[in-house]
Structure 1
Amino acid sequence: MGLSPVAGGSTVDAVLDQLQAQVSDGSWPVGERIPAEHELAARLGVSRPAVREAIRALTHVGVLEVRRGDGTYVRSSADPRPLLRRVARASIRDFFEVQLAYDVQAARLAARRRTDADLARLEELLRARDEATEADAFGAADAAFHLGVAEASRNPVLIEAMRFFIDRLRESLRDIRLDREVPEAGPAAHRAVLDAIAAGDPGGAAWAAAAVVEPTLAVLETLAARDGVER
């Protein structure tokens, strides 16, 4: 079974389905290097970012393995799509619970390992986050700051895990901005995270990162209990 152009645009799910089909039917056996990102994009008629996100998702669940400077290889023939669909159906509360765990550890490690270049970049990301007003732009800017903290941690597993969840996190943050019942952490709370990272204070950075997420998570818990539904 060969690759064919994706109908209706460059959706990541459609790209992921075609890549997984190549693995499942044996066209790409375990141990084989798959075509380069630019070649896949051309054959599927989609953007390179769509291919990149699909590869990242399949890498995160162990189907593919990216070897820096060498290419991407098939690691397993298992089909992860049922798992990915469950992730896609997860509630906002589910994602904030995961974000709490990731953000706390990312901030702690970033305070130990950040460079001057990291601090300069985080300042820019925080400024963009604080200046964003429209919901979609805010979600993207807030998620970019959280990812920037993870990247400053220098932990490749944590960074890839954050990248895997970043699209859904972006959507969750956008939804929070649109939902007047759910509070969002403001500039001061995010500034406290960056200040602690800049000061090289792991404990303070972890505490500040938790303080960003926990108030929103507490309200989501209360609303879920009140409404009897997952948010």
Structure 2
Amino acid sequence: MALSPVPGGSTVDAVLDQLQAEVSGGGWRVGDRIPGELALAARLGVSRPAVREAIRALAHVGVLEVRRGDGTYVRSSADPRPLLRRVARATLRDVFEVQLAYDVQAARLAARRRTDADIERLAGLLAARNEATGAEAFGEADARFHHGVAEAARNPVLIEAHRYFQGRLRDSMATVRLDQEVPEAGPAAHAAVLDAIVARDATAAARAAAAVVEPTLAVLETLVAADEADGEAR
């Protein structure tokens, strides 16, 4: 196999790329049975769940076929990555539209209701976000900071809704970190949210929270429209 260890912080996408490269390059032909999850995980230097997720994605679009009790076989040599990219960006747009609504209200309420303990905790969460490097670690740290703001809002319904949403936000931010065409709000934009909460300025907090999400959402709107146009042209 031409497979090689993938860099940390980009596991599922990197695994998917390597599996697809084996198919597109002829290493695995249509009808071939590919190595098992354990063998692939060892070869690529990643976890078995990362391999399973990549296989599931390729099976979903018809490149691979998982036969229970038998193994996984190559079904098509077509490259699904452009399609997967279009789907991922459309999903990201949906998530960021919801995040915009949650974060603006959470920041507004947090500025009114926060305690000194909240500020100390948010400062620690923001520092952890700024220090995160790998895509998965960054996504987790970003989601924790935003959920911390929701908790400081002290609205039980908003907190539970955001907790339910947190997993999608974490995965989405990890995807943004890997997609170089999609910008992410940096430390300064997030610090502005915390500064407004510290100052108990609800209007500024809501405005800062919107400024974190809106630039990324605007780019996603443009990319999704371009992807849709490209898909129709094909």
Relative to the length of structure 1, the TM-score reads 0.60
SS, match of residue 91 in structure 1: helix
SS, match of residue 182 in structure 2: coil
* 1:104 corresponds to: 104
Q: 1:197 offset after TM fit, Å?
A: 0.2
Deviations 1:28-75 (A, max 9, x none): xxxxxxxxxxxxxxxxxxxxxxxxxxxxxxxxxxxxxxxxxxxxxxxx
Root-mean-square deviation (CA, aligned residues, Å) is: 1.8
Spell out the pairing of 1:18-167 with structure 2 (5 A cutoff): 91-167=91-167
In structure 1, how many angstroms separate the alpha carbons of the residues matched to 2:193 and 2:169?
18
Q: 1:212 offset after TM fit, Å?
A: 0.1
SS, match of residue 161 in structure 1: helix
* 1:181 corresponds to: 181
Deviations 1:186-214 (A, max 9, x none): 00000000000000000000000000000
Residue type at the aligned position of 1:138: F
In structure 1, how many angstroms separate the alpha carbons of the residues matched to 2:95 and 2:224?
14
In structure 2, how many angstroms separate the alpha carbons of the residues matched to 1:151 and 1:144?
10
* 2:200 corresponds to: 200
Q: 1:137 offset after TM fit, Å?
A: 0.3
In structure 2, how many angstroms separate the alpha carbons of the residues matched to 1:219 and 1:207?
19
* 1:223 corresponds to: 223
Structure 1 unaligned runs (5+)?
1-89
In structure 1, how many angstroms separate the alpha carbons of the residues matched to 2:151 and 2:95?
19
- What percent identity do the matched residue pairs reach? 74
* 2:213 corresponds to: 213
In structure 2, how many angstroms separate the alpha carbons of the residues matched to 1:165 and 1:196?
24
In structure 2, how many angstroms separate the alpha carbons of the residues matched to 1:133 and 1:207?
27
SS, match of residue 182 in structure 1: coil
SS, match of residue 228 in structure 1: helix
Larger Rg: 2
Deviating beyond 6 angstroms after TM superposition, the runs of 4 or more aligned structure 1 residues are none
Q: 1:184 offset after TM fit, Å?
A: 0.1
Q: 1:105 offset after TM fit, Å?
A: 0.1
Deviations 1:98-155 (A, max 9, x none): 0000000000000000000000000000000000011000000000000000000000
Structure 2 unaligned runs (5+)?
1-89, 230-234
SS, match of residue 217 in structure 2: helix
Q: 1:222 offset after TM fit, Å?
A: 0.1
In structure 2, how many angstroms separate the alpha carbons of the residues matched to 1:105 and 1:136?
26
In structure 2, how many angstroms separate the alpha carbons of the residues matched to 1:95 and 1:180?
18
1:191 aligns with 2:212: no
Relative to the length of structure 2, the TM-score reads 0.59
Residues paired across the two proteins, number: 143
In structure 1, how many angstroms separate the alpha carbons of the residues matched to 2:92 and 2:180?
15
In structure 2, how many angstroms separate the alpha carbons of the residues matched to 1:219 and 1:116?
36
Spell out the pairing of 1:8-23 with structure 2 (5 A cutoff): none
In structure 2, how many angstroms separate the alpha carbons of the residues matched to 1:106 and 1:173?
19
Q: 1:91 offset after TM fit, Å?
A: 0.8
Q: 1:95 offset after TM fit, Å?
A: 0.6
